Each structure stands twice: as structure tokens, then as C-alpha cells.
Amino acid sequence: MLNRFSRREFAKLIGSAAVVPSILPTSSSAEPVNLHPSAPVAHSFPKGFLWGSATASYQVEGAVKEDGRGPSILDVFSHTPGKTNNGDTGDVADDHYHRYKEDIQLMKALGLQTYRFSVSWSRIFPTGTGTPNPKGIDFYSRLVDQLLAANIQPYCTLFHWDLPQALEEKYGGWQSRETSKAFAEYAGYVAQHLSDRVKHFMTLNEMRSFVDIGYRDGRHAPGLKLSVAKVNQVRHHAVLAHGLGVQAIRAHAKPGVKVGLAENAEACAPIIETSEHIAAAAKAMREENAGYLTAILEGKYTDAYLAHHGANAPKFTADDMKAIGSPIDFVGLNNYTTTWVRADNNPSGYAIIPAPESYPHMMSSWLRVGPQGLYWAPKFIAQIWGVKEIYITENGASSTDVLTPDGHVYDSDRIMYLRNYLTQLHRGVSEGVPVKGYFCWSFMDNYEWADGYAYRFGLHYVDFKTQKRTPKLSAHFYKEVIARNGLA
């Protein structure tokens, strides 16, 4: 039971403080506390470490019917009743197509050194292939010029899920290798026109997401629920598109361009950091990514992956695997959560620990807080496959983000999330893990796929009715991180 004081008793207690020696130092008896130390920043990152942010075309651009853009599967999906929260679409989104100059000035004010954007395939080739649309490539050319004028390095993603609808109708989208070939044609064209200024290209973003959620679970575009065998074939065509895309970029880009991808690889981490659990997590990192990152970095599917799927395994040729294994210059890792692993005496040597219902998460129920993934995933990628250049191409968190009457967003939970993840990232970098840069997701609130506008991930709050952008408290935090090149 809590002690309760009357006002009189409380007054007596306060009054008695006059006869108790003060525990606080006085100005004459102690050194003043230095609130602004000049010592080196704790948890500082290496000189030249790049700090950036990221967006994706359909999530921010809007202008879906302007300047010759063709429809994508996201347009069709979002306009299908019942597919998205509140029937939300990306028709307008952040209107970034018209406001990109204003947005780049906000990036400059934040101190961004680099910005990751994606190109809308259907702005370049309205029907996926054929005659290119000059107004499409012109927009991205102007965007790149504005970024460079602001001293911000552009990093370009070629596919962030907005597949031209014509390819879905003609070939069944990623169910056909014809779409993989079409992607290579598109990738080569964009590289040819932008690589004089853009020096880092990523082929596809999160193959795991658009394949599994779009073609297996049906929750994202194109909203299909295919059989295991067909999903495995879709997965193969996605990694094949990456490989063919790498080859096309190298064939058409200017010298000095680097090519990679941005994949949400399963970030496996030992539940306890002992040798047996660490070894188990390393095995899991390779096998749990067997259909995507492992196949790309090794140019083959693992024996366990093929054996597990048996008759449902993907059909492929030796030339396919050679293309898939095309050497890349860097790996981009999108990381939000951690997959916890323990050692086990089963044939694989590991077991994945399911999250209990009480596991802490951000506003999005899937976004379970696990900062250790940002240490272990890059560490394993470097150790297992000898990768020498890694970027964290996405990391961020959803929050309730309430705009106060005086115009502020105090997203302390997002700051907590970012600080914890950056601490783990620093742990790896300080050990020599070759992470060269970090892109916070996202630069501003935007269209969050099937969740519509209900879930906010941005450093900047967006009023979607007025399109006003307001820096959140997390933007001020991140600005300080960039300025210090270390934790704040």
C-alpha cells in the first residue's frame, strides 16, 4: 500500500530539509557538470560513412496518369475494392513527382549525404517493353540533377514492386521468364541514361516480399495465391531478373558504376551468443536465404533447398544459374526485424524460435524489435560470402505519429528504435564489418502498400490533404547523428 501524506505532513517534511545536509554540490565546492563535452563522440562511425534515407516510386510520386506513365500492378490492385486499408491508393501519395525540388531541399536541411530512390518501370516503358517514354526518363534525370546540386549522392533502385500491368496481363508477371528478360532491357536503358551521374544501381528491392506476399499470400499486388511449385518458379524468375539485370547494366552503363541489390534477407541471429548458437545462426543465414541472396552470391541453389522442395523445386538451366550468380559490387540489406536461432540436433543443425505473443513490436504488428539483426546479418554476409561492401538500404519503424496542436511530432519510440539498431550497427562496423552506409526508411510518410496511409514510417510527417511536410523529433535525432557521424 502506498504511503499517503497530508499537505501538513508534506510541508513538515519539506521544512525539515533545512537541517539536512544538501546532497547537491554547490558552485564553490564542486566542478561544474560539462553539458557540452568536447571529447570524441561515443559510438562514432568511420570517416566517409554515408548517411541517407530512402523512398520508393509508387509510395511517394503520385501523378500516376501523367507524362505517359502506364498502369502498374499496384494501380490495379489498390483500386480493387477490399484490397487496401480504406481503399487507399497511390494516385497522389506525397505528390513527390511535382514537389521533388521542395523535398530535396528538406533532404539537404536534414544533412543527407545520399538518397535512395526507385524508378517506376511503367514511366520508362508504359507497357513494360517496346518504345521508351522520353518524359519518364526525363523526370529521373531532373531528379538526379537536383540531388547532385544539393550535394546528395543518388542511389537508384530499378524495381520496387511497381511491375507494368501489361506484363502481368501478357505473361502472368513474374510467372514467366519473359518478364525477367523485359526487366533486363529496362535496366540497361535506365543505366545507359543515368549512369553518367548515378554510380550505384540496385536491381530489385525485396524479392522475398513481392514474391511471397504478392504471389503466395495474395496480400500485395498482384494478389495471387499460387501453388508451392509456381511460387518457387516465380522466385526463380525474380533472381534471374536480377542476374540478367546486372549483365544489362554492365553492358550499358558508363565506367565506374557499381551494381548490387536491396534484399530483406532473413537476418538470423543467435538467441544466446555462445559458439554453438552462433554456428547455428550462421547455418540458418545461408539456408533461410537459399532462394534469394544465397543463390545470387553462390550462383546455385543449396542442396537442402532443392531437396526440401523436391518435385516442387524450380526448373532452371545452367545458363540461368550463371546469370543469377553474376558478380555484384555490393549487397544492400533491408532490415527491420531479427530471426532468432538456437542450436538443435536436427539434420539442419538449427531451429528458429517463434516469437511469443508478448514480443515487443512497433505500430506494425510484424515489426518486432530486434536490433541485433543489424549486427549479425551484415557480419554473416561478410563472413559466409566474402562480401566487401554492404549498405543498410532500409531500416526504420512505424509509429502512431500524432501531430500536436503546436505542430510537433514527438516520436520517441522511433528514436528508441533507431538508437538501438544503430548501436548494433556500430558494434559491427567497429569490428570491421564492411558496412559503408545507412539509409533510414523512410524520408517521409508515404503510401504503405495494403496498409494505405494508416501506418507512418517517415522522418517527416506528411499531411496528405495539404501535402505539408513537418520534421518529426526523429528527424532532429537523425540530423544530429549525421552531423556527429555517430550516435546521438
Write the DSSP string, 310-359: GGGSPP--HHHHHHHT---S-EEEE-S--EEEEE-SSTTSEEEPPPPTT-
Cis peptide before 442 (omega within 30 of 0): yes
Distance CA 313, CA 321 (A): 14
pLDDT at residue 39, rounded to an integer: 52
Is this structure's pTM higher than 0.85?
A: yes
Please answer whether residues 177 and 240 qualify as being in contact, where contact means their C-beta atoms are separated by less than 8 angstroms: yes
Of 148, 147, 125, the residue nearest 136 (C-alpha) = 125
pLDDT at residue 388, rounded to an integer: 98
Distance CA 441, CA 474 (A): 12
Of 366, 304, 311, 309, the residue nearest 338 (C-alpha) = 366
DSSP character at residue 361: B
pLDDT at residue 108, rounded to an integer: 98
Distance CA 279, CA 272 (A): 11
pLDDT at residue 446, rounded to an integer: 98
Distance CA 466, CA 462 (A): 8
Distance CA 267, CA 440 (A): 17
Q: Show which residues are catalytic.
A: 206, 394
pLDDT at residue 42, rounded to an integer: 72
Distance CA 105, CA 465 (A): 21
Please answer whether residues 174 and 71 qualify as being in contact, where contact means their C-beta atoms are separated by less than 8 angstroms: no
Of 123, 98, 103, 124, the residue nearest 115 (C-alpha) = 103
pLDDT at residue 87, rounded to an integer: 98
426 phi-psi bin (left φ>0, alpha ψ -120 to 50, beta other): alpha
Of 329, 322, 333, 269, the residue nearest 299 (C-alpha) = 322
Q: Which residues of the chain have pLDDT under 70?
A: 1-41
Please answer whether residues 158 and 241 qualify as being in contact, where contact means their C-beta atoms are separated by less than 8 angstroms: no
Give the distance from CA 233 to its chain's centroid: 25
pLDDT at residue 318, rounded to an integer: 98
Distance CA 104, CA 111 (A): 11
DSSP character at residue 261: E
Residues 6 or more apart whose CB falls under 8 angstroms from that of 420 comprise: 369, 371
Q: What is each CA distance from 218 to 137, 213, 334, in whole angstroms?
A: 31, 6, 22
Distance CA 332, CA 160 (A): 13
pLDDT tens digits for range 346-360: 999 999 999 999 999
